[in-house]
Amino acid sequence: MANIASQRIKREFKEVIRSEEVARCSIKVELLDDNYSQLKGEIAGPPDTPYEGGKFLLEIKVPETYPFNPPKVKFLTKVWHPNISSVTGAICLDILKDQWAAAMTLRTVLLSLQALMASPEPDDPQDAVVARQYKGFPEIFISTAEHWTNIYAGGSRKKEEYSKKIERLMGIGCNMDQALVALSGCNWDLDKAIEQIFG
Amino acid sequence: MGYDVGRFCGSVDEELICPICVGVLEDPLQAPTCEHAFCKRCIHEWLNHQPVCPVDRQTITSVQLRPVPRILKNLLSRLTIMCENQSHGCSGIFKLDLLSSHLIECEHNPKKLIPCEQGCGFVVPKDEVKDHNCVRELRCTVQKQKQKINELQNQLSEHRFLINDLRRETSLLKEYMKVMRSTNPSVRAIVEEIERDEVVRWSNSLPRARVCRWGGMISTPDEYLQDSIKVALVESGCPSHIIDELMDNSHERNWPIGLKSLETRQSKRREYEKYICKRVPCKQAVVVLQIDNPLLDEDMMVEPGLVMIFAHGVE
Ligand SMILES: [Zn+2]
Ligand SMILES: [Zn+2]
Ligand SMILES: [Zn+2]
């Protein structure tokens, strides 16, 4: 790994560990290898959002050319958000693309992702289905995102109605992820979800 | 990229850290308006990616970068840093501005050049000495030189070829001009100039000669002797249009009045010292050309010059 990249990550890793956000359990990083090219990040779902109470894991890959190019980051924890793919965890965020600047750090990246969770940008979506729901059915979006947070990230808010519908689908041979994606995408219309899966 | 912070004694102010490489600023430059400072190499590399300040993303280009203020330079030069060859045994600690001059002479620098002790003549980086093999290196050099010689030989034969071509063309042109000169006076003038130039060039190519024994002059050379002198003249590149006249003028019957008889020769002995003579290569003979001796009296010189053959005494 290029000298400058590992030098930077060493320092940024320490910066995150010493930060007040860590003290508040709001962000976290972990090294996955000795040469500082792979890290695991974690951010807490921001308060007063559907993600509150959840812990979201991130995969962080540091390129050889860091910090001249941004780190490659994606969500490992499944999340329902217009700028994050509900299937792959890919993120649409300008600072991870053309708005990257060499002085940004792991800490600023993690904090920016937290900010993105708090304020989605549906006009620049990564997941078109989620973005459509966010704009057209805001209440459903919120409860869906809460439900996802409950299932995957350990959040406490969930809807009994949603759980029942998921069970119904699982009763006819779907797995849980499949059922959740189909129902969420159909605004929890059971017939449409069945049609989508089996039709 | 900047100096590793860990090499400095004591803590380093954040102001002196490059935001790109997080080392201590090396050859710092700053952005024009926001005045953020970076290592020269770091910021140039970044601007290859995006033309904005790495800290605040204000638009900047390479040409807008400025030297940092003196105060920042002073702060940097006051820092003390350990030699980068510490792991190779150097315990030196220096002010940052003196580091580069130390590195040149640092005894512990694994890349310091030292002459091979076996006497092969190579200078080798210290850490490569143990793998250095004089025979292999010299063989490699010989190989390279052989290659070079081959290249040069090829060039040489190409040039020879070219010269022969040019010679052939020149002689054709001369023939052509010879034909032309009889009918066209301006061509005649050109030909005469060319011929004159030829004589000058030839004369300049011959070494100056000094006759130390004028008494050894052979005033009536036989045919055999004349032939051998003529061959030497041809080989020295004597222009063909004067060679026969010159050879005719190697016998006293064609010499000017001042040389013609033994008596005049004895009385004019002093005047000979004025001759500017050129050596006929490998022969005890000199040519005295009119063009080399333009100021001599008519009774001492004839066109286009004369040849003097000696039994001995030419240097
Ligand atoms: Zn730097
Ligand atoms: Zn700036
Ligand atoms: Zn040293």
Contacts of B239 (CB under 8 A, 6+ apart): B195, B198, B199, B202
Listed in sequence order, the residues at least 6 apart from A69 whose beta carbon sits closer than 8 Å to its beta carbon are A63, A100, B49
Burial of B236 (0-12, 13-18, 19+ CB in 10 A): middle
* Residue of A13 and A81 predicted with greater confidence: A81
Task: Specify if B169 maps to a domain.
Answer: no
- Based on the residue annotation, tell me whether A174 is a catalytic residue of this protein: no
DSSP-derived secondary structure letter, B114: E
CA of B17 to the centre of ligand 1 (A): 8
- CA–CA distance, B19 with A105 (Å, rounded to integer): 10
How many angstroms separate the CA atoms of A129 and A74, rounded? 19
pLDDT at A40 exceeding the cut of 90: yes
**Reported confidence tier of residue B123, pLDDT bands at 50, 70, 90:** confident
The answer to the question of residue B17 being in a domain is yes
Binning pLDDT at 50, 70 and 90, where does residue B178 land?
confident
Looking at the complex, report in whole angstroms how far the Cα of residue B53 sits from the nearest Cα belonging to chain A: 8
Domain boundary at B105, B126, B149, which? B105
Q: Do A102 and B23 touch (CB under 8 A)?
A: no
**N residues, chain A:** 199
User: What part of A 95-114 touches B (C-beta under 8 Å)?
Assistant: 98-103
> What is the enclosing helix (H) or strand (E) of B307?
strand B305-310
Q: What is the reported pLDDT for B215?
A: 78
CA distances, B97 to each of A139, B2, B10, B30, B102 (Å): 64, 14, 17, 19, 10
In Å, how far from its chain's centre is CA A18? 24
pLDDT at site B268: 77
pLDDT at B259 over 90: no
Task: Compute the average pLDDT of residues A163-171.
Answer: 93
Residues in B whose CB is inside 8 Å of some CB of A read: 1, 4, 19-23, 36, 42, 45-46, 48-50, 52-57
Q: What percent of chain B has pLDDT over 70?
A: 100
Rounded to whole angstroms, the Cα distance separating A163 from A180 reads: 9
Rounded Cα distance, B153 and B147, in Å: 10
Among B17, B26, B49, B59, pick the best mutation site for testing chain A contact (most A Cβ within 10 A).
B49
Q: Identify the active-site residue in A25, A92, A174, A186.
A: A92
- Taking alpha carbons only, the member of B84, B88, B115 closest to residue B100 is B84
- Contact list in A for residue B7 (CB cut-off 8 A) is none
The pLDDT of residue A134: 95
Q: Is residue B200 part of a domain?
A: no
pLDDT of B81 above 90: yes
Tell me which chain B residue has its CA closest to the CA of residue A102: B54
Task: Kindly identify which residue of chain B lies nearest to residue A98, measuring between CA atoms.
Answer: B50
Least Cα separation, residue A34 to chain B (angstroms): 19
- Whole-number percent of chain B with pLDDT over 90: 35
pLDDT(A1) > 60: no
Which bound ligand lies closest to the C-alpha atom of B52? 2
Looking at residue B99, which CATH number applies to its domain?
Answer: 3.30.40.10
Residue B164 falls within a domain, yes or no? no
Average pLDDT of span B109-113 = 83
How far does CA A152 lie from the centroid of its chain?
11
What value does the mean pLDDT take over residues B286-291? 88
Ranking B58-62, B70-74, B231-235, B291-295 by mean pLDDT, the lowest is B291-295
- Structural domains in chain B (count): 2
Could you tell me the sign of the dihedral formed by the alpha carbons of B171, B172, B177, B182, in that order?
positive
- Domain membership of residue B75 as a residue range: 5-105
- Which of B23, B45, B57 faces A7 most closely, judged by CB atoms? B23
In degrees, rounded to 5, the angle at the alpha carbon of residue A70 between the alpha carbons of residues A68 and A71 is: 125
As given in the structure block, the two tokens for residue A194 are 């069945």
Lowest mean pLDDT among A106-110, B205-209, B271-275: B271-275
- Asked whether residue B191 is domain-assigned, the answer is no
* A67 CA to centre of own chain: 23
Give buried/exposed letters for A142-181 (b at 16+ CB in 10 A, else e): bbbbbbbbbbbbebeeeeeebeebbeebeeeebeeebbbb
What pLDDT, on the 0 to 100 scale, is given for residue B129? Answer: 84
**Average pLDDT of every residue of chain B:** 88
- Report CA-CA distances (Å) from A113 to A116, B17, B212: 5, 26, 104
Judge: A68–B53 Cβ closer than 8 Å, yes or no: no
Identify the CATH homologous superfamily for domain A3-118: Ubiquitin Conjugating Enzyme (3.10.110.10)
pLDDT over threshold 90, residue B21: yes
Does residue B87 surpass a pLDDT of 90?
no
Instruction: Name the residue facing B55 among A8, A68, A103 (closest C-beta).
Output: A103
Domain's final residue, options B105, B126, B161:
B105
Asked if B32 and B46 count as a contact pair (C-beta separation under 8 A), the reply is: no
- Nearest beta carbon to residue A68 from set B46, B52, B55: B46
The letter for the amino acid at B62 is S
pLDDT of residue A2: 64
* B232 and B218 Cβ atoms separated by less than 8 Å: no
**Pick among A4, A14, A104 to test the B interface (most B CBs inside 10 A):** A4
Q: Is residue B199 part of a domain?
A: no
Instruction: Using pLDDT thresholds of 50, 70 and 90, give the confidence band for residue B223.
Output: confident
Integer Cα distance of A60 and A36 in angstroms: 10
| pLDDT reported for residue B255 | 85
Percent of chain A with pLDDT over 70: 99
**Tokens standing for residue A184:** 């969420």
The reported pLDDT for the residue numbered B51 is 94
Instruction: Provide mean pLDDT across the span B203-217.
Output: 85
Which chain A residues are Cβ-neighbours of B42 within 8 angstroms?
Answer: 4, 102
- Coil, helix or strand for A125? coil
Mean pLDDT within B256-266: 79
Residue of A nearest to B37 (CA): A103
- Split at pLDDT 50, 70, 90, the class of B292 is confident
Contacts of B215 (CB under 8 A, 6+ apart): B313
B221 located within any domain: yes
Last residue of a domain, one of B51, B73, B105: B105
Contacts of B36 (CB under 8 A, 6+ apart): A103, B19, B30, B53, B54, B55, B56
Full 3-state SS string of A40-105:
EEEEECCCCCCCCCCEEEEEEECCCCCCCCCCEEEECCCCCECCECCCCCEECCHHHCCCCCCCCC
Test B50 with A69 for CB contact under 8 angstroms. no
C-alpha dihedral, B191 to B192 to B198 to B199, nearest 10°: 160
> A11, B22: Cβ pair inside 8 Å?
yes
Domain edges within chain A: 3-118, 128-198
Is A8's CB within 8 Å of B22's CB?
Answer: yes
